[in-house]
Amino acid sequence: MEFLVDVRVSLPPEMAAEQRQQLLAAELKRGRELVAAGHIQGIWRIPGAVRNVGIWNARDATELHQLIASLPLFPWLAADVTALATHPLNA
């Protein structure tokens, strides 16, 4: 099942620079694992914000939640999720 996932990250301004860099590196590593596993099919940054949108693939909403929760930045993110259905033009 495909989902449109809109993620906004809000790291606290008082977070130490070293911790921020470690989190971002861990997030990139986990993101690459999710791409390699086929869970993230496409992802785009939104200019001017710490935000991205992507097409994610999961068995169901429960698995999608588990995948999003596996992101190192999960405690500092908000995600809007929209389930997607096949359009007749893509059939």
What phi-psi label fits residue 45: left (phi over 0), alpha (psi between -120 and 50 degrees) or beta?
beta
One-letter identity of residue 2: E
CB 6 within 8 A of CB 68: no
pTM: 0.93
Query: pLDDT 10s digit of each residue in the chain, 91 long?
Result: 999 999 999 999 999 999 999 999 999 999 999 999 999 999 999 999 999 999 999 999 999 999 999 999 999 999 999 999 999 998 7
Class of the domain covering 2-90: alpha beta
27 Cβ contact partners less than 8 Å away, ≥ 6 residues apart: 71, 72, 73
pLDDT of residue 66: 98
DSSP, collapsed to helix, strand or coil, labels residue 57 as strand
- Domain positions in the chain: 2-90
